[in-house]
């Protein structure tokens, strides 16, 4: 790949915060509180560093000369476990969806979790119909539904927990 088709993943930088905020808002899936929570994790990682905060970020950019942020993921070890990791957020700019960026990010996260000694990834999401494409994405990526907690987020909105064993 060359020019603006080059895709690479890097660590979080301070300049990414506004892009992450815009991306979280533009998906239309997250409430104001959820967007604020995503930004708290960004601020925690930027302020304390990823290792100390326990929140790792993968920022996907496209282009060499003027790279554009297309997506990001936030993940970290689950406290009190040996090798279990949560994928807290994975988001791709709505205008860039359907181009493989999400798959690229998820595969990067899986490799990094393995590199860190992780053995599984858990992902929580909503059962709402608007998350149907998200659920299919996880299933096509080799994740299986490990748990469903009925009426978790609100009545009629179950928490779905997907799991993938990496080793």
Report the chain's mean pLDDT, rounded to a whole number: 94
- What is the per-residue pLDDT across 26-48, written as a single tens digit (0 to 9) for each? 988 888 999 999 999 999 999 99
- Which tokens sit at 25? 């808002």
Domain membership of residue 126 as a residue range = 3-165
CB < 8 Å & 24+ apart, contacts of 134-141: 135/160, 135/162, 137/102, 137/103, 138/162, 141/103, 141/106
CA atoms within 13 A on the CB side of 31: 4
Number of domains in the chain: 1
pLDDT band at 3 (very low <50, low <70, confident <90, very high): very low
**Closest residue by Cα to residue 161 from 118, 110, 124:** 124
Query: Could you tell me the pLDDT band of residue 9, with boundaries at 50, 70 and 90?
Result: very high
Using a pLDDT cut of 70, give the percent of the chain over it: 98
CATH number at residue 150: 3.40.630.30
Two tokens, residue 59? 């920022």
Q: How far apart are the C-alpha atoms of 76 and 79, rounded to whole Å?
A: 9
Nearest-angstrom CA–CA distance, 139 and 133: 10
Q: Are 61 and 86 in contact (CB under 8 A)?
A: no
Question: Do residues 55 and 76 touch, judged by C-beta distance below 8 A?
Answer: yes
**Residue-level pLDDT at 2:** 40
Longest Cα–Cα distance of the chain, Å, equals 49
Nearest to 162 by CA among 151, 152, 153, 140: 140
Average pLDDT for residues 2-25, to the nearest whole number? 88
Neighbours of 113 (CB within 10 A): 24
Residue 27, pLDDT score: 87
């Amino acid at each position: 790949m060359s020019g603006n088709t080059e895709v690479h993943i890097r660590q979080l930088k301070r300049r990414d915060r506004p892009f992450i905020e815009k991306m979280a808002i533009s998906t239309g899936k997250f409430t104001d509180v959820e967007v604020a929570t995503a930004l708290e994790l960004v601020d925690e990682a930027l302020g304390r560093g990823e290792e100390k905060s326990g929140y790792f970020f993968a920022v996907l950019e496209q282009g060499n000369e003027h790279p554009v942020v297309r997506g990001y993921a936030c993940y970290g070890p689950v406290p009190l476990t040996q090798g279990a990791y949560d994928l807290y957020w994975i988001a791709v700019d709505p205008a860039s969806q359907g181009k493989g960026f999400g798959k690229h990010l998820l595969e990067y996260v899986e490799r990094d979790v393995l590199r860190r000694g992780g053995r599984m990834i858990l992902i929580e999401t909503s059962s709402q119909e608007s998350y149907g494409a998200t659920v299919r994405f996880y299933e096509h990526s080799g994740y299986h539904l490990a748990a469903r907690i009925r009426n978790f987020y609100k009545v009629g909105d179950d928490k779905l927990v997907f799991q993938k064993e990496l080793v």
